[in-house]
Copies of this chain bind each other. A is one copy, B any other.
Amino acid sequence: MDAHLALAARFEQWAMLGDDPARCPVRNLLDRIGDRWSMLLLAALAGSPRRFSALARAVPDISRRMLTQTLRTLETDGLVHREVEPSVPPRVTYSLTPLGKSFAGPLLALVDWAEAHFGEVEAARARMALAS
């Protein structure tokens, strides 16, 4: 079955659950990782654990505020593990939990699509810009 038909079937199912994000896994997921930084940080942690400052370097344009906040959310959702080494100065290491690693598959699919079809998207934008 084509993916878009399978997707349609899923949509019908969860539409019957109503629009409550607490009940709909998909809405719930989008509310969480549909922000500016979550997926980027999950990708940054995919290879190996990283310390706080290493993450800040890996994603240069995130503020420390949002870095902390996003990591906290990912931690409460069980995607990221936070390890504090009680020393002076403190060292805090973030890593993907098994659950976090399991998300790499879907995320990779998204990344692949973006890279493969970016050109088509840009072409479409150019066409629309001309037509207007």
Q: Which residues of A contact B (CB under 8 A)?
A: 2-12, 15, 18-19, 25-31, 34-36, 39-40, 43-44, 46-48, 58-61, 75-79, 96, 99, 101-115, 117-118, 120-121, 123-125, 127-128
Contacts and interface: CB of A to CB of B under 8 A. Distances in A.
Given A104-B2, A106-B106, A11 B43 contact: yes
Q: Which 9 A-B pairs have the closest CB atoms?
A: A78-B124, A8-B47, A4-B104, A25-B118, A29-B114, A106-B109, A7-B46, A8-B46, A25-B114
Given A19-B61, A46-B8, A121-B77, A105 B96 contact: no
B36 A108 contact: no
A111 B7 contact: yes
B110 A8 contact: no
A76 B128 contact: yes
Contacts of A77: 121, 124-125
A31 B59 CA distance: 16
Contacts of A31: 36
B48 A8 contact: yes
Given A77-B124, A77-B125, A121-B77, A115 B26 contact: yes
Contact of A10 (B4, B9, B105, B108): B108
